[in-house]
Amino acid sequence: MPSPRASACMAMILVGVVSGYVTSSTKRPMTSLATASLFGRDHSSLNWCGAVQYSSQVTFVEGTWTVPSVSIPNGNLSTDQYWFYQWVGIDGVFPCEVLLQGGTGTIGSIPKWSLVLTENFTVHVGDVVYVSVEATSPKTGTICIDNLSTGESQTFNPVSQNGSLCQKTAEWIAEDPGITVQPFPSFSAFNLISCKATTGSGSVITLDGAELWEMNQNGRRLCHAEVNSNSDLTVFNG
C-alpha cells in the first residue's frame, strides 16, 4: 500500500465566513434530539461530528490535527462523489447560522481524491496542520492555516455578506458538507489536539463539558468523537 503522501489524495483548504468555504451564504448543521453523556450532551446530526462548546463572546478557536486518509465504504459505489471536511469554527449552530470556519477537506471519486482551493498552498494526507479562526468583528474574521509538515502558512480575512456572528459556540468538527448530505467516505481515526478557544474578556474555553456530536444517516452512525482530555479529541469512523 502506498504511503499517505504518495497516494493520489490531496486535501483542500476550507476558508470562509459562513458555508461555501469561500462564499458567504448561511447554513447550519442538520440535527436531531440531544441526550446526556459523560462530557456533555451527545447530539445526533446528519452532517457534523465532533465537539461543540457553548459560551458567549467567543472570539478565537484553534486546533491541530493530522489530515486523515479516506477510502470507499464497503458496499458503496466507487463512482460516487465523496466529501469529508475537518475544521475549527465559531457559530453555525441554530439559530446562529453564520459560520466562521477554517480547515481541510477532501472531495473526489476514489481513487482520484483531489482539490486544492487555495492557490500555492497544498495539504496532503498525513500532514499535520494547525488552524485558528478569529472573529475580528461580527462580520469579519481572520483564518490562519499552518502546514506544520511543510512549513507553509497562509492567512485569510473573509467577510460575511449575509448576517452577523453571534459568537456563542466554538467548534472542532468533522463534516459531511452541503445543505443536503453527500456520500460519506470511510476515514482513519484522527486526533484534534490543543483544542482551545477564548472569549473577548480573555476567558479560556476548553473541551470540559463540551457537547459531543455524532453523525447519523439512514439509521447508521458514520462518525463519533471521544474527549481524551480538556484539550484533546479523537474523531472515529463509524
Q: Which residues are catalytic, by number?
A: 175
Residue 83 to residue 193: CA distance in whole angstroms:
23
Per DSSP, 19 falls in state T
Strands 41-45, 211-217: pairing is parallel
The DSSP code sequence of 182-210 is: PP--EE--EEEEEEEEEETT--EE-STTP
Q: Are 34 and 176 in contact (CB under 8 A)?
A: no
Residue 103, strand partner residues:
14, 87
Residue 61 to residue 157: CA distance in whole angstroms:
15
Residue 206 to residue 197: CA distance in whole angstroms:
7
| Residue listed under C-alpha cell 468533522 | 174
